[in-house]
Amino acid sequence: MSTIIEAPRTPRERSSKGRVNWEKWGWLYMRLSGVLLLILIFGHLFVNLVLGEGIKEIDFAFVAGKYATPFWQWWDVVMLWLAMIHGSNGMRTIVNDYASHRTVRRVLLIGIAAAAIILIVLGTLVVFTFDPCNTFIPADQALTFCPVN
Ligand code: HEM
């Protein structure tokens, strides 16, 4: 049996009218999140690696300083969410393109979705519950403003 690929501008069939076209929204999401990710990723790299002392400045105290401000917390969380959904949706496209076996495709798609959800939840928790004076840090390595000092 041969597969017929319609011309790109062929109008959609009547039966699909009224339904949400998820593939279209996914396609748009990749482009829009791509533009935002350019700003977020290169802004992140510039602030961390170019401004101030550059890479030499990055240590626990640097991270603690950034996560003391809601601005950087939200910057990182938005970057995490956009990149994880962008990356996993992109991987979904690749799996759909190349994994022709139904079960293999299903397992891969579930794996991608699970990885994305776990990393988004963990990453968001880390950013918003980050405590620079947590009790796991040995007293001799604690930051100067922590109560143990
Ligand atoms: C610098 C910011 C980024 C921009 C401007 C960008 C842009 C894009 C665009 C426009 C597409 C769609 C390509 C197509 O449909 O032909 C895409 C696909 C993809 N992106 Fe990104 N992206 C960025 C960052 C990322 C990041 C951080 C990840 C990983 C977490 C990622 C993973 C992917 C994957 C897996 C695909 C699917 C590739 C494919 O369909 O062959 N991208 N990206």
Question: Where are the domains positioned within the chain?
Answer: 23-133
Distances (CA, A) of 40 to 43, 137, 141: 5, 30, 31
Q: pLDDT tens digits for 72-109? A: 999 999 999 999 999 999 999 999 999 999 999 999 99
Q: Which comes out higher in pLDDT, residue 36 or 15?
A: 36
Q: Confirm or reject: Cβ of 56 under 6 Å from ligand 1.
A: no
Q: pLDDT tens digits for 31-43? A: 999 999 999 999 9
113 Cα–ligand 1 center, Å = 17
Across the chain, mean pLDDT equals 91
Q: Confirm or reject: Cβ of 45 under 6 Å from ligand 1.
A: no
16 has a pLDDT exceeding 70: no
Q: Confirm or reject: Cβ of 85 under 6 Å from ligand 1.
A: no
Distance of alpha carbon 113 from alpha carbon 84, whole angstroms:
10
Fold of 23-133: 3 helical TM bundles of succinate and fumarate reductases (1.20.1300)
89 Cα–ligand 1 center, Å = 9
Residue listed under structure tokens 């979904």:
92
